[in-house]
Amino acid sequence: MAQFPWLQLAATAFRSTNSGGGSGKFPMSLESKVQGLLLEIFVAVLGLPPHSAYSCLTIALQSSPGLKIMDMEEGKWGKVPKLHGALQVHVGDHLEVLSNGLYKSVVQRAILNCERTRISIVSLMSLGLDEKMGTAKEFVDEQHPKRYKESSFGDFLNSLRQ
């Protein structure tokens, strides 16, 4: 895990602080965690607009190319190659908040393929509906002030209704 420090951060975030296994360093209770599984089928008339995942991590398996991610520095979309049997791991919004922006959430979209149907199996790892994600104190100092407010998936859903 040393070459993937964000994975260590996510693993620590998912350890329960009350089970004796957690570090107790994070400012939120982590008793209720959520793993959602989505099956996305993209036919020739549908795609998916640009978005980031409101989760800690997203793990995806795609049947064919069609996923693009935004290179935020250059402002350009890049194709994600389909590697047979490979799982893609994407940093989500909650990990960006937890790390105070050190690890950036992936902005992605799915494009149309008029020749074949594209299927994605997606697993989203996150906190419970009302569990608040906040910035870990280890990522805040004088040079790096807190950049995000605490929020939950429920807060996100409520903002969509407004």
Reported as a single tens digit per residue, the pLDDT across 63-102 is 888 889 999 899 999 998 888 888 999 999 999 999 999 9
Are the C-beta atoms of residues 133 and 94 closer than 8 Å to each other? yes
Whole-prediction pTM: 0.71
**pLDDT tens-digit profile of 129-146?**
888 999 999 999 999 999
Average pLDDT over residues 96-118: 87
Q: Mind listing the pLDDT tens digit for each residue in 30-56?
A: 455 666 666 565 554 566 788 888 888
Per-residue pLDDT, 29:
43
d(CA 26, CA 96): 14
User: Do residues 106 and 90 touch, judged by C-beta distance below 8 A?
Assistant: yes
Pairing of strands 108-110, 88-91: unpaired
List the 118-127 sheet strands across, edge first.
Answer: 33-42, 118-127, 57-62, 88-91
Query: What is the model's pLDDT at position 1?
Result: 45
Higher pLDDT, 22 or 76: 76
Q: What DSSP string runs through the chain?
A: -TT-HHHHHHHHHHS-TTSS-S-S-SSS--S-EEEEEEEEEE-TT--EEEE--SSSEEEEEESSS-EEEEETTTTEEEEPP--TTPPEEEE-HHHHHHTTTSSPPPPEEE---SSS-EEEEEEEEEE-TTPPB---GGG-SSSS------B-HHHHHHHHH-
Please, what is the end-to-end C-alpha distance for the chain in angstroms? 41
In this structure, what is the dihedral angle of CA atoms 59, 13, 92, 42, given to the nearest 10 degrees? 30
Q: What is the pLDDT of residue 26?
A: 43
